[in-house]
Amino acid sequence: MTVKNTRGSDLIWESLTPEGNSWFNADFAILDFKSNKTTNLETSLLLMKIFKGAINLNSEFLSKWNGFKVETQLEFPQNWGLGSSSTLIHLVAQWADVNPLELYYKVFSGSGFDVACAGADGPITFFSNDEEIGYTSINWTPSFTKNIYFVHLNEKADSQIAVKDYFKKARKRKQLAADIDAITKEMVNVSSLSKFEELIDKHESILSKSLGLPTIKEERFSDFQGCVKSLGAWGGDFALVTGSKENDLREYFTEKGHDTVLSYSDLIL
């Protein structure tokens, strides 16, 4: 994200695709954050909510009497998702000199783990309890990362709707959190692909029972030999999959209509 001072008192926002084409632009009056013009009302309303949240945390933000030209550019296709909203929150928080997680909670519901990921330089474990929220950087470099892939599911899940559904459906949330925490602690130290797959399957099974929903493997890839894990909102943009034979794995998902299969090294810092 680049920010430049301009004449006047408007904030001009433009979002670009990886190829440099504009997919969203809007002009906001800084005085009241009303959108003078926009190519997408929903996106404009989200930006206004973010700006107001940032000002609530730092009254000096956007207080100087001048305009701004802000430009953002995706590094991947727009329909991939990949936490782009959380990355936006993190970037605006840096600009406004506020805590990214605090800004996130002003705008969205949810744990905030994806905002923590947006600002991380590598693997992290995220924690959220009654006393504190934060994350810890970890060293996670197992030998089997060559067997981990990410498959685009050709659909987009609304994370905020998914969060609301979770709070409606999730059963015994304290026990659920304890079970997932135990899996996370094992995952940090996992050294074999078979144990990794065992933990992934256990994680999916626990969430499936808690939410009363089938796992993505049961629902869509029951004949796949490796493991399949939903990422982000269940049924969302990507799934993590494992396999020992890359060509067979890619052929399987291509036949299922999923041409975008990324290796671990393609996607992970």
pLDDT tens, residue order, the chain (269 aa): 999 999 888 999 999 999 999 999 999 998 888 888 999 999 999 999 999 999 999 999 998 878 999 999 998 888 887 778 889 999 999 999 999 999 999 998 888 899 999 999 999 999 887 788 889 999 999 999 999 999 999 876 554 454 555 555 555 677 888 899 999 999 999 999 999 999 999 999 998 888 888 999 999 999 999 999 998 766 568 999 999 999 999 999 999 999 999 999 998 86
CATH 3.20.20.140 fits 141-267, yes or no: no
Q: Cα angle vertex 92, ends 87, 96, to 5°?
A: 150
Query: In angstroms, how far is CA 1 from the centroid of its own chain?
Result: 17
Q: What is the pLDDT of residue 184?
A: 94
Strands 148-152 and 261-263: antiparallel
- In angstroms, rounded to a whole number, what is the distance separating the alpha carbons of residues 15 and 48? 15
The residue type at 191: S
Q: Where are the domains of the chain?
A: 2-109, 141-267
Q: Which long-range contacts (CB under 8 A, 24 or more apart) does 190-196 make?
A: 190/142, 191/142, 191/143, 192/144, 193/144, 193/147, 193/242, 193/244, 196/142, 196/144, 196/242
What kind and span of H or E run contains 56? helix 41-57
This prediction has a pTM of: 0.86
